[in-house]
Amino acid sequence: MKFQGKVVLVTGASRGIGAAIATAFAREGATVAINHLSNDAAAAATVAACQAAGGDAWAVKADVGSAPAVQAMVDAVARELGPIDIVVNNAFKPYAFDPRRRTLFDDLQWSDYQAQFDGAVGGAFHVCRAVLPQMRQRAQGAIVNIVSNLVEHPVVAYHDYTTAKASLVAFSRNLATELGPLGIRVNCVAPGLVYPTQASEATQESFRESLMAATPLRRIARPEDVAGPVLFLASDWAGFMTGQVLLVDGGLVMR
C-alpha cells in the first residue's frame, strides 16, 4: 500500500493509536498532518517518528470540538501540504477504561453522554465538514473513523463512551451513502482494548488477562495493530468498500 503524493490528516495523533496510524502512513510515503490538542512535545515526537519512517509530517494544533479551529486547521494543512486526500478521525473525549471504577447507569448524567457524543461524533462532524469541499472538488477521498468493538460486544458497560461510538458508526454509514456517488468512501475501524495507551493504562492486569484468555489470538491489541486495517481501508485495495466496520480485536467479536 503506497501513499506517495497523498496528504493524510490524522486527528488525536500525538500518541497511542493515532501516533501509530500516522507513522504507518508515513512509512508508506504519505505526508501526514499530525493533529493534537495540547501536547507539543508528544506531537513533535510523532513528527520525528514519521520522518524516521521515511515520510513527511507536520504537527498542527486544534481542538476538533471547535468548528472554527478545525476549519483553520484544514485550511492551514491545505496551504502547507496540499489538498487532503485521507482523513482518520481518531480523536475522542478523554476516557479511562477501568472496569472497577466505571460509572454505573444510575450514576450517569445526560451531560456525560453529551460530552462523549460531542467528542466522538462532534469531532468527526467538524473535520468532515471542513475537509469535504476539497474532496468533492476532486471527486475522491477516503475517511476512516475509529469506533470500538464495544458497540458489538459491550464486555464492560461503558455506557456513555459506547453509545457515542455507536452513533459514530451510524454517522459514518449515512455519510458513506451520500458521498459514495461522488467517489468518496467512509469506513470504520473498531478496535478492542488497545494496550498500552493513555486511556487503557488504568485497566488492571487481571482484566487484561481474562480478556486475552477469551480472545482467539490470545493477546490484546497494540496501537500498531490498528494501523494496518486503517491503511487498508484508506488504500485503493479497499476501493470498492464503503460504509463498513472492520473489527480489530483478535477475533473476540466475529461477524
Domains, the chain: 7-248 (3.40.50.720)
Give the chain's mean pLDDT: 94
Active centre residues (catalytic): 161
190 pLDDT above the threshold of 90: yes
Predicted TM-score (pTM) of the model is 0.94
**Residue 96 has what pLDDT?**
79
When pLDDT is averaged across residues 215-227 and rounded to a whole number, the result is 92
**Residue 112 has what pLDDT?**
95
- What band does 201 get if pLDDT is binned at 50, 70 and 90? low
Lowest mean pLDDT among 42-51, 131-140, 170-179, 217-226: 217-226
- What band does 163 get if pLDDT is binned at 50, 70 and 90? very high
37 pLDDT above the threshold of 80: yes
Cell of 203: 485497566
When pLDDT is averaged across residues 22-37 and rounded to a whole number, the result is 97
When pLDDT is averaged across residues 22-44 and rounded to a whole number, the result is 96
198 pLDDT above the threshold of 80: no
| C-beta of residue 97 within 8 angstroms of C-beta of residue 203 | yes
Question: Tens of pLDDT along 71-128?
Answer: 999 999 999 999 999 999 999 888 878 888 889 999 999 999 999 999 999 999 999 9
